[in-house]
Amino acid sequence: MKPTRPFHQTPVITIDGPTASGKGTVAALVAAHLGFHLLDSGALYRLSALASVRYGIAPEDAHGLAKLVDDLHITFREGLAQLDGVDVSTEIRAEEIGKRASAIAVHPAVRAALVARQRAFRKPPGLVADGRDMGTVIFPDAALKVFLTASVEARAARRHKQLIQKGFSANMDDLLRDLRERDERDSTRAAAPLKPAADARLLDTSALSIDQAVGEVVQWYRALPGVQHDGAHGKQ
Ligand code: DC
């Protein structure tokens, strides 16, 4: 008998949500747990933002940015993000780069230029993809779509901790204001706004530990028809 939901040969789990909702950490751990590849799509937007600073392309210049993104030389190796062969993993995490990433992400031409790069991460045995539009635009046929939420206060506290740990300075009031602004821009832009896919499962992580959130996603995935207990995907 055919499963009720058609599966692509290589399964994808999408984890979308607002900034600092914990999706990056949860996605990385779910991927490690299942032995799946990982796509941190925000890192692609951040790399593009960093490149736009380096090459002096204005955040309003949609055409210039799309061309820049087409020509970007980026690689991910063992969790490190490289631009033009140089590791920039720390630089792209700066708040300024996050803000610029959000600003350039409003342009449909920039988003279109990143589509193929994102889909290329889909390789056996599977992929966990985190971002804003993974379930709605990039992988609409994902086996499991998760939308993570958390209160803005919980997210600001997490982001504060993260930044301090990475050696950046951080102020709670500034972070709260920036998160609200970023949420507003990411969810109201015309192109691929941040919103749960119609078939996404919502997971509020405000009061959950990381392990609990990861456990929930893995359990949801394993309970899907056609998924074997070890996480491998059944034949169609
Ligand atoms: O997830 P992040 O904070 O690293 O993402 C940085 C910005 O990139 C985010 O504010 C909006 C943009 N982004 C996007 O528009 N679509 C994605 N799939 C991922 C990120």
Q: By the 8 A CB rule, do 175 and 156 touch?
A: yes
Closest C-alpha residue for ligand 1 atom 15: 105
Q: Say what the pTM is.
A: 0.88
Strand, coil or helix: 93: helix
Helices (H), the chain: 23-34, 41-54, 62-71, 95-104, 108-119, 152-165, 172-188, 210-222
Which ligand 1 atom is the nearest neighbour of the CA of 98?
A: 6
Distance 97 CA to ligand 1 centre (A): 11
Among 12, 45, 118, 158, name the best residue to mutate to test ligand 1's pocket (greatest count of ligand atoms within 8 A of Cβ): 45
Domains in the chain with CATH codes: 12-221 (3.40.50.300)
The rounded average pLDDT for each run of 10 residues, N- to C-terminus, in the chain (236 residues) is: 58 93 94 96 97 97 97 88 94 92 95 96 96 95 95 92 87 93 86 88 92 97 82 50
Give the Cα separation of 3 and 6 in Å (integer): 6
At 236 the pLDDT is: 35
Q: Tokens for 21?
A: 């909702």
Distance 36 CA to ligand 1 centre (A): 21
Closest C-alpha residue for ligand 1 atom 1: 42
Q: By the 8 A CB rule, do 91 and 74 touch?
A: no
At 232 the pLDDT is: 60
Return the closest-CA partner of residue 235 out of 31, 26, 3: 3
Q: By the 8 A CB rule, do 6 and 121 touch?
A: no
Taken in order 197, 212, 118, 41, is the CA torsion positive or negative? positive
At 170 the pLDDT is: 87
From residue 185, how far is each of 17, 71, 72, 101, 138 by CA, in Å? Answer: 13, 26, 25, 11, 20
